[in-house]
Structure 1
Amino acid sequence: MSTSVDVFIDYVCPFCFLVEPALEELRRDRDVKVNIRPFELRPDPVPTLRPEDDYLPRVWNDLVYPMAERIGIPIRLPSVSPQPRTEKAFLVLQLAHEHNIAGTYSQAMFQAFFQDDRDIGDEEVIVDVSRTLGLEATSVREAMASPARKRQHQADLAYATETMRITAVPGIVIDGTPLQGTPSATRLKKAVDALTTSKGCRQ
């Protein structure tokens, strides 16, 4: 039986992008089901961050760039200011889930923001990125305007914060057990192996 791995992300979090190679290796080497779940770091009306202020450049210089260089992912601090809200992109994530391309869609959103410096809060950018993955523009626009999807998104955020107690991203929960930080592939596989062994002992 596959081990469930819930990955809570926000598309403006560089560490969520940088954990992608580790998750891909986990998918390749272990029998897991990875579930991409939304978590907005700064939901409306909380102000989003600005790259021209001190905080983002300091974090990027001290943490993001060294990690990206170590992993081998080209990445740069986006110039979009203030940083975009991600609700609309997450509404389309629901559509991507329905087409079984949630992982591919999320990767494309990260690349658009952190490699192509595009405003992923802009509806036309979201439509353009989605179309490259085979999603119809009409369906994407309908998803962003759907009251039902907005209600589902709020329920998903409540699940993250109230049920799973997620406070930071990437928030990785393996079969109900949270894993702190931005784990390597080795750490992810060890966690999956330990839980698999534990479940086997209880059966």
Structure 2
Amino acid sequence: MTVQIKVYSDYVCPFCFIAEGPLQQAIQGKDVEVEWMPFELRPVPNEPLRPDEPYIQRAFHQSVKPMAERMGLDMVLPQMSPHPRTHLAFEGFQFAKEHGKGGEYNHRIFKAFFQEEQDIGQVDVLTKLAGEVGLDESQFRAALESRTYQEAHQKALHHAYREAGIQVVPTIMIGNHVLEGVRSKEAFEQILNEELKQAQEKQEFGDGMACGIDGCR
């Protein structure tokens, strides 16, 4: 049985970018299905982040950058002020997901923002990035300009805020485990192995009953 993984994240969340790497390493060769779930940290009418604010500078240099370096990830604090809102990038994600490129698109958007300082709030930038992962640029641009996926994105946000009750990103749900924040590859692997073992037991002994060394339930 396949283990379901849901990853709630925002493209302007540095910890979401950091968490992506160890998760991808941990799932290699495993029977899992990853679903990326949109979450806006600063939706309208909230003010977007400004990188020149002292607490943003402190958080990046004291927490984010050292953690990224430990994970072997090069990151910068994008200096555009304010930081872009991410609703258009997420509407683009809905297009990418529908065309089988959701994971590739997500990774490219993260890299564009935190490594290349590209303005991911702009249609032109998003369209170019979509083309780089193999999406049709003309169709992608038309979808963003017409807001074709606005409703789908709003439904995704409603799910995250109201139904799933997400308050922190990244939040990663692996089967019955809910993880907030960044985890190591080894931590992800341990949880994945537990979930895969439980899934295997359910498959062997029937739905609704899983047997281990201490009995069945």
Identify the TM-score tier after normalising by the shorter chain: over 0.9
> Contact 2:119/2:125 (CA < 8 Å) preserved in 1?
yes
Q: 1:118 to 1:148 in 2, by over 3 A?
A: closer
- Which 5+ residue runs of structure 1 have no aligned equivalent? none
What residue number does 2:114 align with? 114
What residue number does 2:175 align with? 175
Alignment size in residue pairs: 203
Identity rate of aligned residues, in percent?
A: 37
Question: What displacement does 1:177 show?
Answer: 3.0
Structure 1 or 2, whichever has the larger Rg, is 2
How far apart, in 1, do the equivalents of 2:177 and 2:72 lie?
A: 29
What residue number does 2:22 align with? 22
Does structure 1 residue 59 correspond to structure 2 residue 59? yes
How far apart, in 1, do the equivalents of 2:127 and 2:150 lie?
A: 17
What residue number does 1:35 align with? 35
> Contact 2:27/2:189 (CA < 8 Å) preserved in 1?
no
Question: What displacement does 1:30 show?
Answer: 2.1
SS of corresponding position for 2:33: strand
> Contact 1:95/1:140 (CA < 8 Å) preserved in 2?
yes
My pick for the range that moved more, 94-103 or 74-83, is 94-103
How far apart, in 2, do the equivalents of 1:67 and 1:30 lie?
A: 26
- Which 5+ residue runs of structure 2 have no aligned equivalent? 203-208, 211-217
Q: Which amino acid aligns with 1:193?
A: N
Q: Which amino acid aligns with 1:13?
A: C
How far apart, in 2, do the equivalents of 1:26 and 1:101 lie?
A: 20
What residue number does 2:74 align with? 74
How far apart, in 1, do the equivalents of 2:89 and 2:120 lie?
A: 7
What is the RMSD of the two structures over their aligned residues, measured on CA atoms? Answer: 1.5
Q: 1:176 to 1:143 in 2, by over 3 A?
A: farther
Q: Which amino acid aligns with 1:10?
A: D
SS of corresponding position for 2:172: strand
My pick for the range that moved more, 154-163 or 140-149, is 140-149
Q: 1:85 to 1:127 in 2, by over 3 A?
A: same
TM-score if structure 2 supplies the norm length? 0.88
How far apart, in 2, do the equivalents of 1:152 and 1:187 lie?
A: 33
TM-score if structure 1 supplies the norm length? 0.94
